[in-house]
Structure 1
Amino acid sequence: MRTTTPLATGDLRITGIRPLDPPAAVLGELPLDEARAGVVREGRRQAADILTGADDDRLLVLVGPCSVHDPAAALDYARRLAAVAAELRDELCIVMRVYFEKPRTTLGWKGLINDPHLDGSHDVSHGLRLARGVLLDVLATGLPAGCEFLEPVSPQYIADTVSWGAIGARTPESQVHRQLASGLSMPVGFKNAMDGDVRPALDGCRAAAGEHTFMGVDGSGSASIVSTAGNPDCHLILRGGRSGPNHGPAPVRSALDALAAAGMPERLVIDASHGNSGKDHLRQAEVVREVAARIAGGERGIAGLMIESFLEPGRQEPGPLATLDYGRSVTDACIGWPETDALLHELAAAVRGGRSR
C-alpha cells in the first residue's frame, strides 16, 4: 500500500522557537513589594488627574533616556532625577522614561528586552528579568516609571510596575495596540502618526476606552481569551511628523478642538523630541522653552511634556556594554543631565508663572 507524507506548509521561515518562562514565574522571582506598589499607584493617580484636568495646577513631565541599555546608568540617572522630582513636586509630576522596546523603521537594536547583551544573542528571558529589575530599582528611588508598549506579551512581565504607558507613532492605528491599551491599568498616551496626522491617535484613544475581547496570554503563559473594561485615561501626544513640528499654538489649538469634538478632555502632551525637534537633540531645549513660555503666559490645555534625556548628550552606536560611553544613548540622541536639570527648573518656574495669571 502506498503512503504519502503531508506537504509541509507551516513555519517554513522559522529558524528557531525557544520556550519563554511564564510571567508568573518572573514576577515571583522579582516581586513588587508594597512600598514600590505605592509609588506605582500614586504615580498613576497623579498622572491621570493632570491629564483629565482634575489637577490643572501642575505639569506632567515624562523624562529620561530614549531607551535603557545600561541598568547601572539608568539607576544613576533615576537617583539624580528623584532628587529634582522631590524638590519640584508642587509644580511638576515627574515620571521617568524607562523604555525597553524600540520600534525600528527598518532594522536595528530592538531594546533591552529583545537583546539585553547588545550583541545579537537575543536572550529575551534574561532581558525580561533585567527590565523588571531596572523598574523595581527606579521605583525604589520614589520615581514612577513610564514605558512604551510594543510587544503584546511583554506587559504581562512588567506592567504592574508602570505608572504611565505610551503607544508609539508607528502603531496608533493598530488594533492589537488599541486592545492592549484598553486593558492596561495606567494612563496611556497615543502618539500622532509618523506623517503628523493626529486622527489615528484620537481614534486610538476612543477605541481603547471601549471594551474589547481578543486573544492573549495569561499569567501562566497560556493562550487565553482576554476581555477588558476599557481604559478611560488615554490621551493624545503631539510628536510632530514628516510634515513638520506640531507643538506651536495653532496645531495645539487644532488638536484641542479635535479632542473636544470627540468628547475627550482638552488636555494633551507635547513630545519635545522626534518631529518637533527635527530629530535634533539640541533643538529639544528650544522646544521646551517655547512651550514653557506659553504655559507661563497662561496657555491652557498642555498637560505634559516629554523629553529625551540621559546623563551625557548625544548618541553612540550600540555595541558591547564595556565598549560604550557611560550614560550616552544608543538610540535617539538625548540632551545631557545638566541641561535637563535646568529645563526642569524652568518648567517649574513656568507653572508658577501660569498660576499667577
Structure 2
Amino acid sequence: MAKIFVGIPTRNRADYVREAIRCVVEQTFRDVRIVVSDNASEPEVVESLESFVKELDDPRIELHLQPEDIHETGQGRFFFERCREEYFVILHDDDRLEPTYLETALSRLDSDAALACFVADPYVFDAKGVTSADATAHYLAEHGRAGRSEGAIPVLEPLLESGFIPISGTFFRTAALRDSGFVDEECRGNFPFEFNLLLRLGERGARAHYLPRVLLGFRFHDAALRVTMKPWSNPHVLGSMIGMLERRRFAGHAEALRIARLAQLHRGYGLVRASAGESAASREHLLRALRLAPFSPRNWLYACAAIAAPGWLRSFVRRNA
C-alpha cells in the first residue's frame, strides 16, 4: 500500500488534467497512489485522457470513468471511500504541485502526529500557464497569508475569517478526516463541500502546519468554477453554507467569526432573492443579517431598502451584479 493517496477529479479539461497528472507523477516522493476520476466528460475528452494515461504507463495511476456527473461532493466521497493510504490529497485538474510538495508535506506531518493537515502558499497562474505576481499577492492577502510565519495553526478560526485553507493540494492525514466524519451527510455542491470538510476538522480542534513557501499553483481562468458558479451570488451555495453554520455553535473568537460569516451569507442570500424579485424572502434574510451584525451600515441600508423600497433594491442589485 502506498503512503499517499492523490485524487484528481476532472471534467472536460483534457489539457489541464494532463499537467495535473504529470506534476504528481514527477514528485520527488514516489510512494503515491494516483486516482484520476473523470466526471462524465465528452467522449473525445475521455479518449484523450485514456490515451495519455496509457502512454505514461505508470502502475501508480488508476483511471475511473464516472457514468454520470457526480459533482465535486460525489468525487470527494468517491476518493475518500477508496483511500487506504495514510495521507489524502485532492488536486483539482486545473492546479499543479511543485516537485517537492509531497516530500515537504510528508516531512512536516510525519514529525507531528497531532497535525491534521499541511498547507503551503500557492502562486496564481492563468489559462496559458503564465504566473501573475499581482494575482498571487492578492490571493495571499485575501486569504490571510500575508505576514504569517511557519508553524502550527488552528483550522477553524482562519477558515471562518478568510478561507485560509483551500481543498486543492492540501495534504490531509486520513485518520483525521475519518475522525471528523469527512463531510455532513446532507452536504452537496462544490464550494459547500470544501468548506464543510474543513469546518468539520476545525470544530474538533484540528490544527494544520502552515509553510509560507510557494509549493503549488492555482490556475485562475474563465472556465474555473469560482467564475462560472459565482459562489457568492449562487443561492444553492449560500443556502447550504448558511445551513452548516446555523447548525453549529462555537466558543470565544470562533463563535464571533461564525456569527460574522453567517451575517455575510444571509446578506448575500437576501440580495440574490431581491434580484429574483422575491421580496419576502429577501426581507427575511436581510433582517436576519441585521440582527446578527447590527453595527453594519450596509446591513441597515439593505434591510431598510428591503422593507421600504424592494423595487429599488431589486434594480440596484441587478445593476451591480
| TM-score tier after normalising by the smaller chain length | under 0.3
Higher helix share: 2
TM-score, normalised relative to structure 1:
0.26
TM-score, normalised relative to structure 2:
0.28
